[in-house]
Amino acid sequence: MKKIVSLFIITLILASCGGEKETSVEDIIATGDLKQIKEKKSALEAKQTLLSDQLQLLNDEIEALDTNKKLSQITTFKATQKEFDHYLELQGNVSTKQNIVINPEFSGVLTNVYVKEGQRVNKGQQLAKIDDGGLSQQLAQLEIQTNLAKTTYERQQRLWNQKIGSEMQYLQAKSNYEAQQEVVNNMKSQIAKTIVRAPFSGTIDDVITDQGTVVSQGQTQLFRIVNLKDMYIETDVPETYITSITKGKKVIVDFPVLGKSYNATVRQAGNFINAVNRTFKIEVAVPNKDKNIKPNLTAKLKINDYSSEKAFLIPQSIISENAKGEQYIYVVNDIADNIGTTKRIIVKTGKAQDDIIEVIEGLESNMEIVEEGARSVKEGQQVEIVTKN
């Protein structure tokens, strides 16, 4: 009412001024009189304000009387509870505990190489032979001496059992024989080291040293042997997930290079926190029936760290935030003939996955949530609900 009275007063003032012949803007400017110019400017501004207010009054009245006015069109979806799995995304590398380089246990000339690259070998199979440097001849002589010591010992034993001879002679013969046996066994152990054997079943990935090369004990690299059956992925997980990522958790393993994905589980979760990067290690076993997965292959892991059987899920794009930092969305109430009124709802959100986020407080089942148009509507606005294309 006050606004209408003010407009009436302004109108009367302008009308009274309009009784006289109105001087044009050009004529006022031509006078060069600052006072007249300012007065003309004030009069025009008052007229502009009056016209603007009058137009607003007319628009408000049209909107109130027009039953065919155009409402903002939106789309909605009902709040329903669904199963929700959240995944932590990390990157890891494929490893195998059976991927080693074989070094010789004996120094000498590599006289024979029995395998080639790509060959499948069994555990204990001979891979190469190193010249024993005459140890075999020494063993033969030691075995002769051992046989003589054995014969002497057995003879002394028979005599001692018949109470013939001294106990000292019997014990000396026994001691000599056992000492010779020990020497022979040690010699055989040394000679056995000249035969390079496969420590486990696998594939010879690389023959590093050629036949005829002089090799050194524990230093020269002879072969790389790999077993592609027991493959796993190892990665570092931030310490904040130590209670949520544990043994048995579901993992989706993706190999971008191979274009393949596998469902797996965490087979081992470390109990040690790395003090440098504040992470702990996990292992994820992966199947490798076709032998395409190789050591050091890069894999993307999606590890299930949180699940809920009943969760309200909404698009992140419909959430807004007020000046207090509170998150809110709009719902539509009092719906009749697809026309309803918007209402702002304060919500509390949880974990997000891609463009979906869980709402843990603020929603109830079957609430009609504004989706398309959520950013343009206001509290208490009438809207038209249309079918989503």
> pLDDT tens for residues 240-290?
999 999 999 999 999 999 999 999 999 999 989 999 999 999 999 988 888
Q: What is the pLDDT of residue 11?
A: 52
- The structural architecture, per CATH, of the domain 72-83+309-385 is Beta Barrel (2.40)
Q: Record the tokens describing residue 259, joined without a space.
A: 């274009």
Q: Which residues of 334-353 are buried (b: 16+ CB within 10 A; e: fewer)?
A: eeeeeebebbebebebbbeb
For residue 46, which amino acid is it? A
**pTM of whole model > 0.75?**
no
Which H or E run contains 58?
A: helix 34-65
Bigger pLDDT: 251 or 41?
Answer: 251
> pLDDT tens for residues 97-115?
888 999 999 999 999 999 9
Scanning the structure block, which residue is given the tokens 């031509």? 30
Bigger pLDDT: 28 or 305?
Answer: 305
pLDDT, mean of residues 231-236: 93
- Describe the strand order of the beta sheet including 195-197 as a list of residue ranges: 195-197, 126-130, 108-113, 214-215
- Mean residue pLDDT across the chain: 88
What backbone phi and psi angles, to 5 degrees, belong to 319? -90, 135
Q: What is the pLDDT of residue 144?
A: 92
Check whether 128 has a pLDDT greater than 90: yes
Q: How far apart are CA 232 and CA 253, in angstroms?
A: 11
User: Out of 10-24, 70-84, 243-257, 327-341, which region has the weakest mean confidence (pLDDT)?
Assistant: 10-24
Q: What is the pLDDT of residue 24?
A: 83
Residues 6+ apart with CB under 8 A from 364: 79
Q: What is the pLDDT of residue 1?
A: 45
> pLDDT tens for residues 196-226?
999 999 899 999 999 999 999 999 999 999 9
What is the separation, in whole angstroms, between the first and last Cα of the chain? 46
> Maximum CA pair distance of the chain?
164
Q: How far apart are CA 367 and CA 329, in angstroms?
A: 11
Q: What is the pLDDT of residue 67?
A: 55
Q: How far apart are CA 313 and CA 310, in angstroms?
A: 9
Give yes or no for a contact between 55 and 280, defined as CB atoms under 8 angstroms apart: no
Q: Where does the pLDDT of residue 92 fall: very low under 50, low under 70, confident under 90, or very high at 90 and above? A: very high
DSSP state of 51: H
Query: The domain 89-97+226-307: what is its CATH number?
Result: 2.40.30.170
